[in-house]
Structure 1
Amino acid sequence: MKKIISNNLLGKLFGLGLSLFFLAGTTPLYAQDDVTDVEEEVEEQEEVMIKRPAVVKTPTYEMREVKGTVIDAATRKPLAGVRVQSLNDPRYSAMTEEDGKYTVSVPVFTTTLYISTPEYNPVQIPVRDEEQTTSIYSSVFNSFYKDANQVFTKAEATWSNSSAISVESDIENALNASVFTTMRGGMPGQGAYMLINGLTSLNTSAQPLIVVDGVIWDAQYDRSAIHQGFFNNVLSTIDPEDIDKVRVVNTGTALYGAKGANGVIEITTKRAKDRATRINVRLYGGFETRPNTIDMLDGKQYRTYMSDILGTYEPSNGSSVTSALQNIASQPFMNEDPAYTYYDMYHNNTDWQKGLYQNAFTQNYRINVQGGDDIALYGLSLGYTESDATAKKNDFSRLNVRFNTDIIFSSKIDASCDISYGRVTYNLRDNGWAMDYSSNNISSPNVLGLIASPMISKTDYFIYWDDVAKANKIAPNPNVYSGKSFTDSYNPFRFCVNYGTDATANPYWILRNGQGDNKNFQEQSQFSLNFNPRYQINPYLQLGDRFSYIVNRTSEMYYLPYDGTPLKYAEGIGQISSAVKTQYGDESTVFNNLYLSFDRKFAAHSVKATAGFRLASYAFSNSFITGYNNSNDKMPNISYSLSYLTYGGTNDKWLNLAYYLDAAYNYKNKYYVNGTLTAESSSRFGKSTKEGVKLFGVNWGLFPSLQAAWLVSSESWFNVPAVNFLKVAAGYEESGNDNIDYYASRTYFANMKYLNRMTSLNLANIANSKIQWETTRRFNLGLETSLFNNRLGLGVNFFWSKTSNLLAKVNLDYLAGLPFMWANSGSMTNKGFDINANMILLNTKNFKWKAGFSLGHYCNEISSLPSSTITTYNLNEMGVKTDVYKTIQGYTSSIYGNNNVLTAVGKSAGVFYGYKTKGVFATDAEAAEAGKYGYLRYPTGYAGDPYRNFKAGDVHFVDQNGDGWISDADMVEIGNPNPDLYGNIFTSLNWKHFTLDVIFKYSLGNDVFNYQRSQLEAASNLWNQTAAIANRWTYSGQKTDIPRAVLTSSSEWVNNERFSDRWIENGSFLKLKNIRLTYNLPLSLSWLQGLAVWAEANNLVTFSKYTGSDPEFSVGNGTLYQGIDAGMLPSSRNFNFGVTINL
């Protein structure tokens, strides 16, 4: 457990925050203007009506009449009853007559009209002297109307009849340019890796802040699970059908202070909008097809491969390769005589993957009731979702309930109160490859299904005496899985070869014996209470408070069965087989936002401002226990009888305080300015930060923002018939990222176990009193337009940013007692754009067709880093370092490889760092001419045997420095996981009551490290390999790109499988993401308001050159973990059918 030296800062921040806010609250607010408003005078006189009669004064500004006609864009017929008003001022409005004509009287400074009516999209038009005819479109089409109160219009999405398990899928379909979204795989509810405005951080989370109903959530991006390949996703507790809209905040993020640098996703849940009682029932079910499996060597091909690779095996007793070759024939799997007792045991052609996957079924039930009266509105929803995964024994279920209410207490006081509860349960198994198996067995069934020998059967055999043949015979036992005995010399999982590191478990044992109520599961529950009272001080001033209390609890249990799992020597632990692990986490959040808002119009001027104080207090604790070598799969409990028992946990508490002022001004609804200033402090900050200000002993970060926009189309001189709407905007902002290690600013000690026996306190961190937030400074330039009678809508946003004070691990001197400490050191630039376009292609009475696309791009470059450098040297003839070849300012990280991810000045984040190749040497003569000394040389590091030659059948690595050696000096950038372009393409066709929606998703220019293929085509161990290995080099003169098979223990091994561009692939793809057909039944029943049936298909087809199962994946939440395929369960085709009933 962590032992904290001091945590008094929490109390100091809390007390200081309250004192300053109430002190600031005593300062009066004044507003004045030379123009008197009629409504203002009436309200002021009503307050003193008892004393003297009211006198309504005539407005001091001049009025004008505006005339025009509103027609249906499809039929060209006039529309009656359409509301026409001054933009953002409903006092000046009129309705269209039967002939569609209107006359509205507005102040002379009015520049824009707002036109709206039910079942049509609203539009805004400039005020002109001449009469205008305005066409409006059915709400079937996406609205092109832009909220004029926003300097930069925020991308928003709404949906109905969602079949997504978690909201990230809907965000991906609707907002994929504004939010770069990569789904984490095919496990239900696992969410996605998301970015807004590109990458802004290296070593801490670059993913956006999540805000739900105005409350900042802790997204828990840095929390790890016990099960390999599993992500704890807090958004999975929300039913997407409970969401009213999702809004992407990519500008003006200074409002969120030290948490806003990565952008913000604001989620608003559904609320009742009127008093009518409405009951919505939604049911759907579906299934997902088994994923495509990987072509592996069959039994015959694998036997040949084994013969080849064992020919390079050199036993530790000094036997030569020749003697090993002689021993191959004696191996039982090489005996081709059908009369041999064990012939049937080793002459199979088992497809291990086949039985590990299934067609998975999903079902969802939801009911929502809304209604109310003059006093209160309410919304109550209850839902249940159950979804199997295509990997057997994995599934997801969720129970959720939400109650939202709005209550009017008096003419000046109202409030909102929301209560929600969600409980998510998973049955789990390990998923994909772990980075390191030095202390763990390979336990992921989908990985074991790839590497298991196809020569043997998944079921066991028994030996019996055949009286007829007068010999022992073997027969299958289909009810018992093979591999139960670890010591049996004929255990097929040992291959009868003393090469124990390749002994593997039977995945079917793990599936069967790992099943149970207390074996492999994860439960997450979240309770949320929000209360938002509001007091209307006067017509322009409102005092409000948003209070929230959230409790999030997780419980996870892991069990690796005793039966079917081979013994393994785990580094630092000992001999292990089965494993029992448990983890429990508990987080409570107290959030409070006390604010004072001002909203008033002064003739042509409009001012909105909000000042507030925001507090967020978090408390997270977790505990874990791990033990090994349980002797009974029927009692997988944590107990003192387990071997190598370890336990630990953490208890973290942190506090954020923020003061903010957000003010918006517009003149004539044509010129807009928005300014924001936030001061924020956190208990995570050090006491001596180099930025910000220090007040009463507490460090505060200052985050300003200034945005401006110009509605060009409302200018009197702008008269371009093809342009219906045109707004340009620009802005500058500063925001922070405070996702700092909880105790980076403090020195603390932690428990450590030596030799799994003795426990003591050990130095775990060295304090850095200067630690602070990362600071991102961003410029934005945007354009929004609607063209050709509102048939084409286009939004473009460019951004340039620089992040300074990057959180990084700085190396320490050996005398410090620790290898590194957290510090702010380094900077990174980021630039890009996102484009969204919507087009109305056809618009008739019965047939409507729209289409559009989104296009995103970002490019980042590391500008500076801590003083760490990578220095490589030329080698002389004996492999001794001589002169420096190159020096790189940066460092490497080992992520599914060895020093394979480069972080360096001048490079993008997360680039792959390895060797370039030129193919495979076909002949020894070719290899003998490749290097400075003839053969290219591989340095062994042994004084007596300093090098080995790359020969025929070996990979021809590029000797970058020409010194004749293939060494670290030859490593270069070989791939970049960041895409050049990404986005969606969509189209929607509507015929009468039918609607067909189609969505494509694409990504271009991103490179992928196929880690799984690097393991399955290494040809250096006894695991089964992909079918491509059948084309490996086996004879002189053979032209192939697959090198020869050589065991790592052989003197012939030259590390052909090292990290190189052999494993880097083009990850570009175009995916038919979703196609949906909806039929809305025409009804005229008093008790039935609507009935819709729908059917959809997801992930129908993917166009890509990528050889893996799916080019879309994310192996981790960190910036440096992207673009790495670790073989996790891929997404596959799924089909859903549903009905929605409105009562």
Structure 2
Amino acid sequence: MMVLLASAGAFAQDVTVSGVVRDAASGEPVPFASIQIKGTLTGGSTDADGNYSILVTDDAVLIFSSIGYQSQEIEVGGRSSINVALQPDSEQLDETIVVAFGTTTKEAFTGSAKVLKSDELVKNQVTNVSEALVGKVAGVQFASASGRPGSTQTMYVRGYGSVNAGNSPLWVVDGVPYEGDINNINTADIESISVLKDAASNALYGARGANGVIMVTTKRAKSGEAKVTFDAKWGMNNKALRSYDLIDNAGEFYEMAYKSLYNNYTINGGMTAAEAYAQANALLTSTNAGGVGYNVYTVPDGQTLIGSNGRLNPNATLGRKVTYNGQEYLLYPDNWLDEIYKNSFRQEYNINVAGATDKSNFYASLGFLDNNGIIAGSSNNRLTARLRGDYQAKSWLKVGANMSYTHFVWNNGNDSDSEGAADGGNAFATAYMMAPIYPVYIRDGNGKIMKDQYGMDMYDSGDGRNGGALRTNGGQSNDLQDIQLNKYISEGNAFSANGFVDIDIVKGLKLTVNGSVNVDETRHTTMLNPYYGQFAESGGVVTKQHGREFAYNLQQLLSYTRTFGEVHNMNLLLGHEMYDRKSYGLYATRSGMFSYDNLELSGAVVDNSASGSSVSEYNNEGYFFRGQYDYDNRIYFSASYRRDASSRFHPDHRWGNFWSVGAAWILSDENWFNAPWVNMLKLKASYGSQGNDSISDYLYVDYYSISNDGSGGITTVFERKGNPEITWETNSNLNVGVEFGFWNDRLSGNIDFFNRKTSDMLFSLPVPVEAGYNSYYTNIGDMANRGVELELYADIVRTKDLVWSVNLNMTHYRNTLLRLPDEYKTNTTSDGKMTGLLDGNYFRSEGESFFSFYLPTYAGIDQATGQSMWYTYSTNAETDELQRTTTTNYSEASSNGREIQGDATPDLYGGFGTSLSWKGLDFSVNFTYQLGGLVYDSGYARFMGSPTGTSTGFTYHRDLWNSWTPTNTNTDIPRMSYGDTYSNAASDRFLTSASYLNIQNITLGYTLPQHITRKFLVDSFRIYLTCDNLWYWSARQGLDPRQSISGSTNPFYYAPVRTISGGITLTF
């Protein structure tokens, strides 16, 4: 049995008190219960069997507490033996939900929300809060195109709610709206996250809560605690997504390139096999149109690279020496993807100190993250600090403050603005598409990478420097060299502070005043190197951008709580909130750098006259009321109202009225309910209306730009027509659900049906050219998202030492465009059945999904010629009716053959997992998944095309080996033929299932027994191994449907990252 020492008072007698702490309901011991000497930070805890022994003064008061139990104060009174029975705390056992301007319990909540606690959040190795929510919350979709350190997920709560206004939820940190970068919030400081999804939950946030609200609560000391916690983890990052199954072998690539030339000569040119063989070999490695420019094989004299059978000459050897301008070079190919992506190191450290007495509470923390990216020059370094405290100054007065500071440095490596582009300047596109015949580096005759006059590796720019060979794609540059030499740096500081005062006026009546300030400052530096590339002649370019945001929020809350007749409970809230944010921007560019290491404007000598500044301001003000009533903690009612004003609308349309009502009934608490195996069954429903002001500033006024007219005067350009009539988009939300718990919560969960309708959607309407501007904004159009959510939790095994649990969440919903402006109904589908708006590969029409694909339908290939065929509609001359026929003319199919092909909305998405704990061992694994829906696989389409023009240096997908030939006609892949621009034309051929499965996280940990750690003055010691994004499956290797919810994909982004780490957590 453990003995805990405490200092005795100067004038009191010491006494050793011992005993056992048990559960009052079950009689079972309560292990590791906290014991605190009242009025001090001194105390201890029970051992694994609930036993304790502590040295105190004979007049001390001991506070016994444990999670899930009511705290109990006991006077020692000179006794040496005190046994304690802790009562289960129903309020603590109820899941606490942080809601708008307060908290509630799960049982009393009439809306729809999900709460994640800190122990769930810390399992994932995340750099921002949103990543910790992936797969954990029903009804929430995530999209992320880039795996770059510091990039953020895009979140959609219950579908896509707006076309031109924002879809992102509102973040609220410790009760204060937060519009800064969520990367600046250290996940280790978070106690809980509540995701609020319906109007009953969000209406009090008015205009800013229409797309859901994410409530973040930071940590504070728990009663009776005085401890230090230190966590450290070290790990490795690498590329998590496999590439498409591309031809990555030089010999195979030459064979494929030869095949396209040979087919062109025989099919289109009418040549004989022998003529085509000779002509294709002659052109293959030349720099003429159709050639690939490089030959990296040594072939015996008199022989060709490709034989008459279309295969690589078996006598060819990889690597070719050439002499150019007196220098011997070795042409040898590199794997560009292997060169751009590397393993990297990640480390993170967090320490916090927390303590509490009966009157005060404090929490302080420091955190450091060093997260190196998987391409050269990319990283995310972050230092965070937080200090939080509150003090019960008087019986009627409580004050508190919460301050945080973040310093960050992001190195982007590649230009983030170029990500996704399929051309030079985007290193990801260059590396992905580059044929496996091109070198990354210039090598001497012995194969050693050569150095330039600066001592740096020499990169092959495809400009003929290493033997006169010219690369046919990627420009006369090398994007992998650029990411080594160019710099894209963002450095900044974020500071936030908020304080509160609680005044208990009379019993049940409380006034709360909250105030907060947020300051975000970021300095961006772009340096385009002076050595190589397009800016070498100008001596390099330096661009500076500086942004600063200052925001403040003020809240005044008056709450009243009262119970009538023991069963009638009432809670009223009246409040006012004001928010203001001002943003400043400044930029300038200079060229002619004096030194590569001087990244300041003063270190460059040529003023490019590219400079400017900006300022914008947004403010919001609201008055609100909420009333809650429950009868005997069984039947609950709630109602809320907010009148909101937004500076983004004309003063005549600035104010909006938003409201919600909700009700819940706990059937299982009724006297007539007789089902012992049901411990909780609740019905709930809510409905409400919210506005959405997430639009650009100043859309209600005309917008002009000014410029120099060439003679020193000023000229103006009419850019945008303002519309003073634009106003709020309105979200109407219906939620009906049931929550349940069976067999003492061995099985629990909830089902929610939702109908989210957006009215008066903001559209950008086209106008005639003669108007002098392109478009203007107006409110017209409705859209709905209807669906159902399910969450299940089950304890398969629940014993004293062993707990095995499983969890599952799933969401099904449909998106429907209900009303479209008549001005937008400018197109009719090819079959004449539907009118709407043609928008790229989508058709926006009433009654259809907003993301309905509208593409030609692929009809296979013409077996005689190997050409692609598509369906088209034409009018039958005899019957004057539309008929569906096939054509090899893509222009005709694109104009007259498009059809609705389905939509991007998945049939089901969510997450599932399992956890196992046995004594000190813990294991968990969590998956994310998506079933159904369609995605346009643009990457696969690009790699399935025939070469055209000079774009012969792109690699191919291996599926092209099954393309049509005169001897391979049983295929649906068209022939490879140089110059065929339509072999991979957009059609439903490249629509692919959006289903995927991902192992989101696996964690294995072990916590040493306290009887061992206490010997080293350590309260708790845990060691663990964790892995994020361990394995991923989709319908096609290389395809990542998670990039967007619209069904568009692009492989030319920073790849998703897998992180494997080990760590320790110590508590003193």
For Structure 1 versus Structure 2, the TM-score category normalised by the shorter chain is 0.7 to 0.9
Residue aligning to 1:982 = 909
Mapping of 1:121-140 within 5 angstroms?
none
1:447 is aligned to 2:439 = no
1:1036 is aligned to 2:963 = no
| Inter-CA distance 584–313: structure 2 relative to 1 (3 Å threshold) | farther
| Inter-CA distance 758–723: structure 2 relative to 1 (3 Å threshold) | farther
Residue aligning to 1:743 = 698
| Inter-CA distance 428–914: structure 2 relative to 1 (3 Å threshold) | same
Residue aligning to 1:466 = none
| Inter-CA distance 590–565: structure 2 relative to 1 (3 Å threshold) | same
| Equivalent-residue separation in structure 2 for 1:214 and 1:929 (angstroms) | 57
Matching residue within 834, 854, 865 for 1:913 = 854
1:301 is aligned to 2:301 = no
1:1113 is aligned to 2:1043 = yes
Residue aligning to 1:585 = 547
Please give the per-residue CA displacement for 1:1018-1064, whole angstroms capped at 9, x wherever unaligned.
333223223426516463353344434456xx5xx443333222332
| Equivalent-residue separation in structure 2 for 1:208 and 1:995 (angstroms) | 33
Aligned partner of 1:158: which letter?
A: K
Matching residue within 661, 664, 673 for 1:706 = 661
Residue aligning to 1:1139 = 1064
Residue aligning to 1:268 = 217
Please give the per-residue CA displacement for 1:728-780, whole angstroms capped at 9, x wherever unaligned.
01111101111121010112322357899997432232221111111011111
* Contact preservation (8 Å) 2:934, 2:993: yes
| Inter-CA distance 475–665: structure 2 relative to 1 (3 Å threshold) | closer
Aligned partner of 1:528: which letter?
A: S
**SS in structure 1 opposite 2:941?**
helix
**SS in structure 1 opposite 2:363?**
strand
* Contact preservation (8 Å) 2:825, 2:837: yes
| Inter-CA distance 462–1095: structure 2 relative to 1 (3 Å threshold) | closer
1:612 is aligned to 2:562 = no
| Inter-CA distance 205–431: structure 2 relative to 1 (3 Å threshold) | same
* Contact preservation (8 Å) 1:433, 1:1126: no
**Structure 2 unpaired stretches of 5+:** 1-22, 34-63, 71-86, 98-103, 266-270, 288-292, 302-319, 876-883
1:1103 is aligned to 2:1054 = no
| Inter-CA distance 1079–328: structure 2 relative to 1 (3 Å threshold) | closer
1:1063 is aligned to 2:995 = no
Matching residue within 387, 392, 395 for 1:408 = 392
| Inter-CA distance 293–71: structure 2 relative to 1 (3 Å threshold) | same
Alpha-carbon distance, 1:422 to partner: 1.0
Residue aligning to 1:45 = none
Please give the per-residue CA displacement for 1:405-464, whole angstroms capped at 9, x wherever unaligned.
1022222111111110012221112378958869xx62232222122342232222568x
Residue aligning to 1:599 = 561
Alpha-carbon distance, 1:849 to partner: 1.2
Most deviating of 548-557 and 1021-1030? 1021-1030
Alpha-carbon distance, 1:386 to partner: 0.7
Alpha-carbon distance, 1:585 to partner: 1.6
Residue aligning to 1:1124 = 1049
* Contact preservation (8 Å) 2:108, 2:664: no
| Inter-CA distance 1056–371: structure 2 relative to 1 (3 Å threshold) | same
Please give the per-residue CA displacement for 1:29-83, whole angstroms capped at 9, x wherever unaligned.
xxxxxxxxxxxxxxxxxxxxxxxxxxxxxxxxxxxxxxxx9755xxxx6679999
Matching residue within 279, 295, 315 for 2:228 = 279
* Contact preservation (8 Å) 1:644, 1:756: no
Alpha-carbon distance, 1:987 to partner: 1.3
How many residues matched? 929
Most deviating of 1032-1041 and 722-731? 1032-1041
| Equivalent-residue separation in structure 1 for 2:633 and 2:529 (angstroms) | 68
* Contact preservation (8 Å) 2:371, 2:379: yes
Please give the per-residue CA displacement for 1:276-319, whole angstroms capped at 9, x wherever unaligned.
421111111111234444443322233344445567999xxxxx
1:366 is aligned to 2:366 = no
| Equivalent-residue separation in structure 1 for 2:874 and 2:831 (angstroms) | 18
**SS in structure 2 opposite 1:256?**
helix
Aligned partner of 1:405: which letter?
A: G
Alpha-carbon distance, 1:533 to partner: 1.0
Most deviating of 277-286 and 1104-1113? 1104-1113
- After TM superposition, the score normalised by the length of structure 1 is 0.74
| Equivalent-residue separation in structure 1 for 2:889 and 2:965 (angstroms) | 28
* Contact preservation (8 Å) 1:917, 1:958: no
* Contact preservation (8 Å) 2:701, 2:724: yes
Aligned partner of 1:459: which letter?
A: Y
| Equivalent-residue separation in structure 1 for 2:148 and 2:373 (angstroms) | 6
| Equivalent-residue separation in structure 1 for 2:385 and 2:868 (angstroms) | 69
Aligned partner of 1:1136: which letter?
A: S
| Equivalent-residue separation in structure 2 for 1:605 and 1:535 (angstroms) | 25
Residue aligning to 2:458 = 481
Alpha-carbon distance, 1:196 to partner: 1.6
Matching residue within 724, 727, 749 for 1:794 = 749
Matching residue within 500, 507, 515 for 1:547 = 515
Most deviating of 673-682 and 855-864? 855-864
| Equivalent-residue separation in structure 2 for 1:186 and 1:1013 (angstroms) | 20
| Inter-CA distance 1082–489: structure 2 relative to 1 (3 Å threshold) | closer
* Contact preservation (8 Å) 1:854, 1:984: yes
* Contact preservation (8 Å) 1:839, 1:850: yes
Most deviating of 505-514 and 1123-1132? 1123-1132
| Equivalent-residue separation in structure 2 for 1:890 and 1:579 (angstroms) | 47
Residue aligning to 2:934 = 1007
Alpha-carbon distance, 1:676 to partner: 0.2
Alpha-carbon distance, 1:834 to partner: 1.4
**Structure 1 unpaired stretches of 5+:** 1-68, 84-115, 123-133, 220-233, 315-319, 464-472, 496-500, 569-574, 690-698, 875-883, 894-898, 935-956
* Contact preservation (8 Å) 2:418, 2:425: no
| Inter-CA distance 788–750: structure 2 relative to 1 (3 Å threshold) | same
* Identical counterparts, % of pairs: 23
Matching residue within 922, 925, 936 for 1:995 = 922
Aligned partner of 1:418: which letter?
A: N
Mapping of 1:771-782 within 5 angstroms?
771-782=726-737
| Equivalent-residue separation in structure 1 for 2:933 and 2:539 (angstroms) | 40
Residue aligning to 1:14 = none
Mapping of 1:410-559 within 5 angstroms?
410-430=394-414, 434=418, 442-461=424-443, 477=450, 480-483=457-460, 486=463, 492-495=469-472, 503=475, 505-514=477-486, 519-559=487-527
* Contact preservation (8 Å) 1:826, 1:864: yes
| Equivalent-residue separation in structure 1 for 2:636 and 2:93 (angstroms) | 31
1:666 is aligned to 2:626 = no
| Inter-CA distance 289–729: structure 2 relative to 1 (3 Å threshold) | same
| Equivalent-residue separation in structure 2 for 1:459 and 1:925 (angstroms) | 39
Aligned partner of 2:66: which letter?
A: P
| Equivalent-residue separation in structure 2 for 1:920 and 1:267 (angstroms) | 56
1:1088 is aligned to 2:1018 = yes
| Inter-CA distance 1029–996: structure 2 relative to 1 (3 Å threshold) | closer
| Equivalent-residue separation in structure 1 for 2:711 and 2:388 (angstroms) | 52
Residue aligning to 1:224 = none
Alpha-carbon distance, 1:210 to partner: 0.6
* Contact preservation (8 Å) 1:182, 1:194: yes
Alpha-carbon distance, 1:723 to partner: 1.4
| Equivalent-residue separation in structure 1 for 2:149 and 2:32 (angstroms) | 46
1:168 is aligned to 2:130 = yes
* Contact preservation (8 Å) 1:448, 1:504: no
| Inter-CA distance 484–713: structure 2 relative to 1 (3 Å threshold) | closer
Alpha-carbon distance, 1:990 to partner: 1.4
| Equivalent-residue separation in structure 1 for 2:146 and 2:711 (angstroms) | 36
| Equivalent-residue separation in structure 1 for 2:260 and 2:595 (angstroms) | 37
- After TM superposition, the score normalised by the length of structure 2 is 0.79
Alpha-carbon distance, 1:792 to partner: 0.9
| Inter-CA distance 958–363: structure 2 relative to 1 (3 Å threshold) | farther
| Inter-CA distance 375–724: structure 2 relative to 1 (3 Å threshold) | closer
| Inter-CA distance 277–136: structure 2 relative to 1 (3 Å threshold) | closer
| Equivalent-residue separation in structure 2 for 1:833 and 1:329 (angstroms) | 59
Aligned partner of 2:578: which letter?
A: L
Residue aligning to 1:654 = 618
| Inter-CA distance 925–742: structure 2 relative to 1 (3 Å threshold) | closer
Aligned partner of 1:503: which letter?
A: G
| Inter-CA distance 567–588: structure 2 relative to 1 (3 Å threshold) | closer
* Contact preservation (8 Å) 1:709, 1:728: yes
**SS in structure 1 opposite 2:911?**
strand
